[in-house]
Amino acid sequence: MIEFHLDPRSGVAPYLQLVHQVRQALRLGILRPGDQLPTVKEVVASVAINPNTVLKAYRELEHDGLVAARPGVGTFVSGTLAAVPVASHGPLRRDLERWLAKARRAGLDEESIEALFRSTFRSAAHEDIA
Amino acid sequence: MSAAVAARGLGKRYRRRVALDDCNLSIPEGHVVGLVGPNGAGKTTLLHLAVGLLAPTSGSIEVLGRPPAADAAQLGRVGFVAQETPVYARMTVEDHLRVGAWTNPGWDRALARRRIDELDLDPRQAAGALSGGQRAQLALTLAVAKRPELLLLDEPVASLDPLARRDFLKSLMAFVADGGTSVVLSSHLVGDLERVCDYLVVLVASHVVLAGETEALLASHRRLTGSRRERASLPSAFEVVEESHTDRQSTFVVRTHGPVLDPGLASEELGLEDLVLAYMGRATSTARRRRPDLTVAS
């Protein structure tokens, strides 16, 4: 079983925060196929959110094939998310280092690099959803 | 399906003061509705009209498809928790439950008992000796144990500390998850309601200035920032809710369904709080403009 939490200042819709937390738990192996997710009532009674928010998150996870609802019983993990193998981190990190060097040559300081990364990451994440 | 609350041209005037003016609303069932507005905007009046404690001076209001408090059956369908969550100070917790059972035909004894256990309340304790949070929870218990189809709460968390506030909302949401009750709760702070509401009604100076499903409202509003420009230069598809200007920069809150194509305008999503504040700001400045004796420096 996992426990949800919400960050009201993150700017991410609450249902997406729940979705991300399940995906994260799957990636880390905290949740495995067959595990039960907390019931809607359990979630709302622990984080004080609208039940429809939880239903929406569970529907999205179901749509992605990660969980399955058994009527009258609960929602269970039915899929897995392969963890990204650490071996692939190396080349990605080298790409990123090259890009960082380029950004500094272009005159960006640390703050503008972070801002650029965050806004690009956000808009890319947004396109993924749409 | 009938609306949880439907109002047409609804108005309430006290001797000299207009408390509510020309309200039109149709809130579908199955939502947790946040009724938000500054103090004195008319929230309590609207709730009292919905419960049937007040009669409208113009227009009409229906709850669950029928006039409020039309008969005993209709009274049983609507639960109400008044401001300051009143309880009888001298009566014990147990007495409250007993009165609840006597006066409500649909009283759910098991639910009431379970909630008192979960809250760890001593049934023999006088209600006057309960903490603010416990008193609010007792008032909520009395309202939900009658198994209402619609639950109305007037500023239920305003006087509670943050922990009691969170606990109260947890209890309320657990009850909603149990099955199909529509809820309307008022607050002068959006932050209190942000996590629990999926429908929002904003009331300012006796008028409904915004109503709709929270997600749709958030999706249809943007904050645009760019070099200084006039509102007329924006595409006509943008309805300007709020604008502010410095000598170099202009900021607009707009309602739109289309994309923002102008590369000179940075477009951001708004949080619920900012969205509500933008509408409140607009409504108050319109109210000021209506009074010719008051000049507003711009």
* Cβ–Cβ gap A44/B173 under 8 Å: yes
Mean pLDDT of chain A: 87
Rounded to the nearest angstrom, the minimum Cα separation between A75 and chain B is 15
pLDDT grade for B286, boundaries at 50, 70 and 90: low
* Cβ–Cβ gap B171/A45 under 8 Å: yes
CA distance linking residue B143 with residue B292, whole number of Å:
46
Closest CA to B178 of B154, B200, B147: B147
Whether B118 contacts chain A with CB within 8 A: no
**Average pLDDT in the B240-266 region?**
89
Residues of B in contact with A52 (CB under 8 A): 32, 198
* DSSP, res B66: B
- Match 């991300």 to its residue by tokens: A20
Q: What is the pLDDT of residues B9-47, one digit of tens each?
A: 999 999 889 999 999 999 999 999 999 998 889 999 999
Closest CA to B97 of B37, B142, B42: B142
- % of residues, chain A, pLDDT over 70: 92
- Quote the pLDDT of residue B287: 63
Q: What is the pLDDT of residues B83-120, one digit of tens each?
A: 988 889 899 999 999 999 998 888 999 999 999 999 99
Q: Is the pLDDT of residue B1 over 70?
A: no
CA distance linking residue B207 with residue B42, whole number of Å:
8
Closest CA to B152 of B70, B68, B270, B261: B68
Whether A52 contacts chain B with CB within 8 A: yes
Rounded to the nearest angstrom, the minimum Cα separation between A83 and chain B is 31
Name the residue of chain A whose CA is nearest to B215's CA. A13
Picking from A43-52, B42-51, B202-211, B256-265, which range would have the lowest pLDDT averaged per residue? Answer: B256-265
**Average pLDDT in the A89-98 region?**
87
**Average pLDDT in the B159-166 region?**
90
Domain ranges of chain A: 14-77, 86-129
Tokens encoding A41: 């009532």
Q: Is the pLDDT of residue A124 over 80?
A: no
ipTM: 0.80
Whether B216 contacts chain A with CB within 8 A: no
From residue B111, how far is each of A9, A83, B146, B147 by CA, in Å? Answer: 35, 45, 9, 9
Crossing angle of helices B162-178 and A51-63, in 10° steps, is 60
Q: Is the pLDDT of residue B297 over 50?
A: no
* Cβ–Cβ gap A48/B197 under 8 Å: no
Residues of B in contact with A44 (CB under 8 A): 170, 173-174, 176-177
The CATH number fitting domain A14-77, selected from 3.40.630.10, 1.10.10.10, 1.10.150.120, 3.40.1030.10: 1.10.10.10
Picking from A69-83, B44-58, B125-139, B242-256, which range would have the lowest pLDDT averaged per residue? Answer: A69-83
Mean pLDDT of chain B: 90
Q: Which CATH architecture has domain B3-214?
A: 3-Layer(aba) Sandwich (3.40)
Select from B171, B197, B269 the Cβ nearest to the Cβ of A50. B197
Whether B297 contacts chain A with CB within 8 A: no
- Quote the pLDDT of residue B295: 42
- Quote the pLDDT of residue B260: 81
pLDDT grade for A127, boundaries at 50, 70 and 90: low
pLDDT grade for B294, boundaries at 50, 70 and 90: very low
Select from B166, B178, B215 the Cβ nearest to the Cβ of A41. B178
Whether A51 contacts chain B with CB within 8 A: yes
Q: Which of residues 192-211 of B touch A (CB under 8 A)?
A: 194-198
**Chain pair A-B, CB pairs under 8 angstroms:** 49
- Quote the pLDDT of residue A116: 86
Name the residue of chain A whose CA is nearest to B33's CA. A50
Whether A45 contacts chain B with CB within 8 A: yes
Q: Is the pLDDT of residue B296 over 50?
A: no
- Match 């009074």 to its residue by tokens: B291
